[in-house]
Structure 1
Amino acid sequence: MAKNFQYKARDRSGRILSGVVLAEDQTAAATYVREQGYFITSLQEEKSKTSTGQLLKSLRRVKTKDLAVMCRQFSTMINAGMPILSCVNILVEQCENSLLKEALQDCYKQVREGDTLSRSLGKYPRIFPPLMINLIEAGELGGVLDDVLERLAAHFEKEHKLNEKVKSAMVYPAVVMGIACLVVVFILTFVLPTFTKMFADMHVELPFMTKLLLTVSDVLQHHVLVLLLCIGSLSYGIVFALRKPSIRKQFDQLVLRLPVVGILTRKISIARFSRTLSTLLRGGVPIIVALEVVEKILGNLSMTEAMRRARIGLREGQGLAQTLGASRVFTPMTVQMVAIGEESGSLDRMLEKVADFYDSEVEDMVSRLNSLIEPLIIVFLGITIGGIVIAIMLPMFDIMSGASVR
């Protein structure tokens, strides 16, 4: 679990700085502070507070939509000629997300004391992504901060739009599936037990299907805590195992090979890769640094490994398209578009076209999946309930058949 670490450091000019870094451990916190070009003088973990307010605060998140609104407002104010300090102050007053508001308040103090905007935002890596920090730093150096913020706003808006489409398309099937499972559990827990005594009084050999159903019903009635404990232990074990890079990499490779989920995951990752890299290159970020930023946001370790190899290949003089093609993770169309972009000197525009194409592909695929999943859930529910009814009626049919023979 990530923790807060307080640090004091000196920059290259000798000025003393202080701040808070959210990291998994002290080593990770120290690494991050050094990457900002600071010399650490002290670093220690913040004393933990176990109050309900602190717990709720740790669960809060800043949405992509909040960052999009912030960048759009910031860009408008900078373009109007307002000083950065005044812009940040206005953003603090207008911000509705409390976590983002607290971060901006601290950034306001840091900027007022002479720190740069990118460095002050960089102290909150869990709120402001590396994409944002690197682009703002490039915008500060190039004097085009308003253009950079405009690009960031457009990027976050498209990212939010894509995420919302995927989420909204999956909500209805998930709700229907949840209701279907509750109906089945209700039947097994409250309806089926009424037949148990009747079956016992019949003194007949029950079919295997009926025995299996009665066993499941008994578990749900009398051993539900044990069942929940087993499910919880299994879930924890899976989550714990996936924290190991070697297992997580194998899992991510398996996900990409799956017929439907793998295709969707690949398209979403390629869209995110293309959009982010295009935004960074247009903002003037060097391609090696840009790939390092992209590497941190993909989520799938197979894609991340492809980014790492691409950076190594570029340092060795290879082309980006060549290294991406060798990874066999990216689609041929993506590799071809990147090759054309490299040859024509318009890699950022080609990547944006790739991102737009796969955004559209993801939207169409999610819509098709949604229309396909609904009837499948109905069929599943029908088969399940039909199976329960058959399992209940089979012993009765056997008794009726025996009575007619007599």
Structure 2
Amino acid sequence: MWEKQYEQGRWNGLALNILSTSLDGGKRLQVSDIPYADLPDIKVMGSKANNVEIDVVLVGSASLVEANALLDNLNTFPRGELEHPWLGELSLAFDAYSQKISTKRGLVTLSLKFVRDAKKPTLSITDNASTSSLEQADVVEAVSSVEFASDVENMSIAETNTLQSDFTHLIGELTGIASRLSIPSQMLTAINQEINRALMAISSIANAPSQFAEQLSITVDSVASAVRSESDSVNPAVDNSRAAQSSMLALIDVNSPSAHYNIQLVTAALKMNKDMDRLEQTSSFDVLTWSKPSSVTLHDLESLTTEIDARTNEVTSISTLESVALFDVLIELRKSVGTQYSKVKKGAKPQRYIERPRSIPVLTLAQQEGNSAALIEALNPLQHPLFLSGTIAMREIR
């Protein structure tokens, strides 16, 4: 009996008796028949629109009225949510329908065709963005790996060998960073296992570039997580986090066969920066409570913004769907870093300067100016607190 074959579903809150469901999808292919060639040239142009077709039944004396009301609702509000009994919630756009009316029990059957509605990424325009810089870096790596796979397919053997050499140097640098960390042995063992997996995956770049990119991201994440977990160094000059960021950026090669190599280096440097995570957890920068000179933090963030800008410029040299998507996520990453840079610059900016031709201790100066000795010392990190002289930065306590 057909009455026992349907299941309940809903479209934008309206109940549907779903009799059957069919799904349609695939890839969009551009097939070019090349003269005098046995095989055609086939390019994958992305995924087809996924179609969903459902058969809905309505029965009873008012079935035709209900069917017409449903069609009117679909035409008025073509986009919506389908609550399917076994497919879950689907975002769909109404496409077409066919209607079949039977005099038996007033049965009306509707075949409704929908297209899966893609969720388009949106860029936040507020300062309080919900996506952290680490999450945005993951997005950049994921988008870049798609173009990386396309680049590898079109590379010559020499270019592939060069790329393998580049990534070998990168993984070697990750090994050096991990060896300098003071972390538990279990964590170090786990990192070495990921590094070994990445080394073994290098040989498969030509055949499985996407899998290699995924493994490399996992390896970078494991090393970066260990870097951020390490306790702060008393001296910024020997800080492993700063050294790791600097070593990643030093490996950037503008002549690399694939832009993904340099993008991976930039995101790795960002993930190894401890300051970004701390800055994002506060609404403002307090120079008094910051563990290192603000000039050091500004220098590190400026290095990141410079390299992100360089990668963005490289992406704009071509115009494809993949490059446009990569441009969007790089701009968002640049915004995340720029927001924190502006926060530090604003919080560390002196309100005024005074001139002292002779040396004066910071405590004496603080008493004379009615200011905080700790704040004066923080604003002038390059001067000895007992021998302040020349142009001295000052700021009032709020």
Larger Rg: 2
Q: Which has the higher contact order (CA 8 A, sep 6+)?
A: 1
TM range (shorter): under 0.3
The structure where strand makes up a greater share of residues is 2
TM-score normalised by length of structure 1: 0.21
TM-score normalised by length of structure 2: 0.22
